[in-house]
C-alpha cells in the first residue's frame, strides 16, 4: 500500500469514529464535542487538496511506506 492509501484509510477511520463518538443516538456516544474532530479531518482534507501539504504523509514516509503517484506524492522516490 502507498502513502496516499494509508491517508485515505486514516481519514475515513477518524471521521467514522468521531461521528460514532459524537452523535447522541450512537451506542458508543461520549460527547458531542467529538464532532469537532470530524470537522478537523474535513478541513485537513480540504487544505491538503488545495495546497498539496499533507502532514500525515511525512509520518508515513518516515515509517517507510512507499510513495505512490497520487495527491500526497512529491514525485520523488
Residue 21 in contact with residue 38, Cβ under 8 Å?
A: no
Encode 24-40 in three state secondary structure. CCCCCCCCHHHHHHHHH
Q: Which three cell numbers stand for residue 32?
A: 458531542
pLDDT tens for each residue of the chain, 77 residues long = 999 999 999 999 999 999 999 999 999 999 999 999 999 999 999 999 999 999 899 999 999 999 987 666 555 55
Amino acid at each position: 500500500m502507498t502513502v496516499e492509501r494509508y491517508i485515505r484509510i486514516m481519514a475515513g477511520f477518524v471521521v467514522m469514529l468521531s461521528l460514532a463518538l459524537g452523535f447522541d443516538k450512537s451506542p458508543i456516544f461520549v460527547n458531542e464535542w467529538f464532532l469537532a474532530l470530524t470537522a478537523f479531518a474535513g478541513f485537513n482534507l480540504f487544505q491538503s487538496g488545495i495546497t498539496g501539504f499533507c502532514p500525515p504523509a511525512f509520518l508515513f514516509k518516515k515509517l517507510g511506506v512507499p510513495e505512490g503517484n497520487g495527491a500526497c506524492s512529491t514525485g520523488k522516490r
